[in-house]
Chains A and B, each alone.
Chain A
């Protein structure tokens, strides 16, 4: 990579730029913290137990039980005499309190919580296999009260872990403590109301045989918060055109040079493109169209960006090794080994995602984790991704270590070099250190904010006095940070140009030093460019 703007920027200008970026960064945090609500909201809905008098018609798509059905009190044992498990239908209408879903709320996740009581004489199994017969319907605000439209249905298996509280000896009607059961995931929240009808059938083959006495079934629904989506989309709408503008500027600058673009310049552009792909506020379309694939698409968009960013880092380290070895250094082929780790990792995550969220497009009740084969498959993909991530980081650390080692070697011989050569190497070292610093800071902030958000979610949110929405602040902050990081990379690592206004001393036709073919006999132009750099260094 030839001389960049970063090297030719005066210290004052660089500090102004960094200050502006920092202000943008802080703004992003504050927007998330003070304007946006928490990213997602939830509601616990207690299901109504309905008596289904015609259980064989359960699967009919136009027959729905609502809250206005004949309800049964499970606690009343007399009421259940002579009934069969198929007669009991658990009904939950989403959302509660006469509200209706807004399309800004994006997606819907349903989690079951089954409260069981111990009945004397019951076998206590800690792991219970459930078979859930469930179906979903939707209704629009403008439809009549009973006009439910079929959305999907499925019979799914789930496992739930239960234990008696505090290891007390089992007493009649004492509660079990059971884990929650993920039930469904809807990629789009296109309609106003949703209705769940669910039953726990039994048969002779041991279906639901371990099930205890069910006291209550709660359906917890999780949706994105409309306010958060709005803030998030506004950020995207701001970042997207800015990024496009910077990329156009960057690419024009590269093309103005009388040489083919260097590998790192290509890579920077690719990272920019993937970020632009991530930044496109596609979610606006969900306000008008039903796009259940948005969850999957969102995952893919993020994944592609991470892959590009990770590749950029490793190649950046590779290009700054300061070893002049091969003529085809300027090609991706050299890095196949390093990049294959990223590729394998990303592909396995993609396959996993397609198996989980891809199938959920057709069956929202599907989960890869419930069958042993599925679990093994999912685990193997995730482990594969983990291994390749590990390999990647080992490679990255190795290359950074090697680069630093080379830098220290070069540094020790710097004084004995010719001025041009020295300045050239100093430029490279400066560039490298700058990116390393920025990257390490960004990565550290990301990791810390991830940990913080886990803690913030984990603690009781009883303290209403806290105005700051920590998790939203961390989300918008980190998102903004990576955008700003890429902006800064594109700006600072763009090739320095003769028309660059700050480089007035640089001369009119100052040409840049090509990294791969370091000229041993520097022409006057280059000297002028480099002396300007030298003068800048001395000024600093």
Chain B
């Protein structure tokens, strides 16, 4: 007992000192502190109709950067959505990585700490996935909240007809006029724009790490976008297709998680390119920009138009020159992942001791790989669980209770 306490304390001190050094030296991960919002104030208990509550919470306040606070203030209701998104990202990450050595564990929320632990300080694959999935989740959650009507500001303001000069002064009247004239645009677009503003706040494209974060954040959003499905309805003469209206359908988040996991497996390692934001690779740059078209039309189009291009219009160079340069939907990293086998307090890795494994699998969840060759303990356990369930809308799950003997393998 005492020993554990001591280790925990040592661990904490180690972490704190490391964090201290880290933030001082590189300032990395500061743009990602908002992840902490997931654990703050238990947003599930908050009604989406009282958006002010979360904002007031000081623990939330501490996780946000100045700009993020401003965004939250200007878009009431958005913080609840961001918090939901962050939770969704954590659940999805833990689901996707349930069978791997690194299982996306999160730490108890402590102020000034990163939610996913020190792994985020490394520019490795896992970090790439975390950034992508959180960015995607914010996009998804904000778009969903818009459809719910929970965010008032995702209305017609940023929609079509940007050429039409907005009558300055009474924006509310202008908004109503716009809505009457041409309807409201997609919520999903607002989700993208908001995610760009909110998630990418801390990253300024100054070094490779920030480029990596920006790229992965973009990749997450691109996955949301590419998974959208179009639905159409004909409502012309006699219901014929002389008039057809289409809209985009938000994909289920599980699909995005699956796709990002695939990209994780095939992530590209990149390196510092001397050329920086150069225009050497023009053809590719153009292509990249084109596919990012929607995003380049940002909320603050006029003001940040130039800087934005600068921020996103870069091309990372593959580590292995034989490989293709990473595409907009690929995840990128530049450091090899640390071993996740042993507990590593410096990186906040818990190790695979005590994890369950599958002795028949030859994959990452197999006992050989999972336990890193340390061997495993096998136990027979009596399990009582629900089985042969049949589901009936709405609330009826008829199950049998099965009593089975299960063999459980646990890593030493």
Q: Which residues of A contact B (CB under 8 A)?
A: 37-46, 48, 67-68, 71, 73, 77, 80-85, 87-88, 93, 95-99, 102, 104-105, 109, 111, 113, 115, 117, 119-123, 165, 173-175, 177, 180, 182, 185, 200, 202, 208-209, 211-215, 218, 220, 222-223, 225-227, 230, 298-299, 302-303, 349, 352-353, 356-357, 450, 453-454, 457-458, 460, 462-465, 467, 475
Contact = CB atoms under 8 A, between A and B. Distances in A.
A69 B155 CA distance: 23
Contacts of B405: none
B78 to A, nearest CB: 13
Given A37-B182, A299-B238, A121 B147 contact: no
Interface stretch (B108-116, B160-168, B336-344): B160-168
A37 B183 contact: yes
A29 B149 CA distance: 36
A45 B232 CA distance: 15
Interface in B10-58: 44, 47, 49
B142 to A, nearest CB: 12
Contacts of A98: 152, 155
Interface string B55-78: 000000000000000000000000
Contacts of A46: 144, 147-149
B249 interface: yes
Contacts of A450: 242
27 contacts: A37-B161, A42-B247, A43-B183, A46-B144, A80-B394, A96-B184, A97-B149, A97-B152, A97-B154, A99-B184, A102-B180, A113-B249, A119-B389, A119-B391, A121-B390, A202-B394, A214-B393, A220-B233, A222-B235, A225-B182, A227-B181, A227-B182, A303-B237, A458-B230, A460-B230, A462-B294, A464-B297
A73 to B, nearest CB: 8
A314 B21 CA distance: 88
With most chain A CB atoms within 10 A of its CB, the pick from B183, B239, B248, B297 is B183
A96 B389 contact: no
B388 A121 contact: yes
Contact of B235 (A40, A43, A200, A353): A40
Contact of A222 (B245, B249, B395): B245
Interface in B236-262: 237-239, 241-250, 252, 254-255
B238 A225 contact: no
A213 B252 CA distance: 14
A124 B138 CA distance: 32
A475 B152 CA distance: 33
Contacts of B156: 97, 99
Contacts of B152: 97-98
B392 interface: yes
A202 B244 contact: no
Interface in B276-323: 293-294, 297
A450 B244 CA distance: 11
B319 to A, nearest CB: 31
A212 B395 contact: no
A208 B388 CA distance: 21
B149 A96 contact: yes
